[in-house]
Structure 1
Amino acid sequence: MGSHYSIGIQQEDDSFLMPLSSKIPHPLLHIDLQVRWVSSLNRDIILDSLNRSISDRRDVFLSEGNARNIIHSLIADFGLSQKFVDTVVVPYIFLYVQNADFRPTNRGRQVIVLRIKIRVVMSPADEIGDLVDESMANSVRFKPASKSSIEALERVH
């Protein structure tokens, strides 16, 4: 039994709506990405969470090749299934950006801000393996301090 994924995208209503200025010469796209791994036994329990943001020119992002590269660089080390990224995440985000760029309410916006949330429901086997790995990593191996390092400590009264 493998992990299950879900993805949601929302455009922030407070995206900047003003004429382009010399400060921002091109319309931008800003993406806030959050990936959460949740327990299959209780989906309210968050096992891990990663966040990352990226901003780029919208015209660069509207090229499918560029969008694919940007999205891959954004989530490259998040440990998501490559198949899920290539068949769901990349096309879904790319289509959403295309639609957002052509939406009449976004005409004149300097920055479109998208919040993307990916939720990974861990399979029970993966969850147990991660808990064991975490437990082993957190095992503390104490090494006694040497006599010279103890004598070198500053005494505070």
Structure 2
Amino acid sequence: MVAVPFFCPDTPPLQKNPVFLYSSDRFQKPYPFKADIAVAVDSVFEKKVDALMALESQTFEGGALGSAETMAAAPPASQPELRRAWLKERWERRQAAEARDYRPALLRWYGDTAGNAVKYAEVFEICEYGRQPSADEIRQLFPFLPQP
């Protein structure tokens, strides 16, 4: 829709679609997630948890994390240290699983030594509806990825 004229009248349409990325999920239909890009987040993991803490409606009110039962397990807002620890533990599990499950993508982008050392990762699949970037373009979009 970003290239459709008059969709958002106060913004000119783009001439070409940008790169669209999917975040990982566990769905298998219509096809399983494929990690095209893997990013190590070890060095920024604590900052990420702090950022997630600020997204209260998404992290503690069920917006992005699911059911009322899951949210009932979160510590109350009156206990911010416990709340942060709860959130951190959930994201440690998720991002450690991404590093483990998509290790081949980490190795492709970071090489064997650095790729095998990654503890926490975020992974992305390039959406077929957007522009299909080259490896060099991906490194421009993710400038912290090591150069080949």
User: Considering only CA atoms, is the larger Rg found in Structure 1 or Structure 2?
Assistant: 1
Q: Which has the bigger relative contact order, CA under 8 A and spacing at least 6?
A: 1
Higher strand content, 1 or 2: 1
TM-score (norm: length of structure 1): 0.29
Higher helix content, 1 or 2: 2
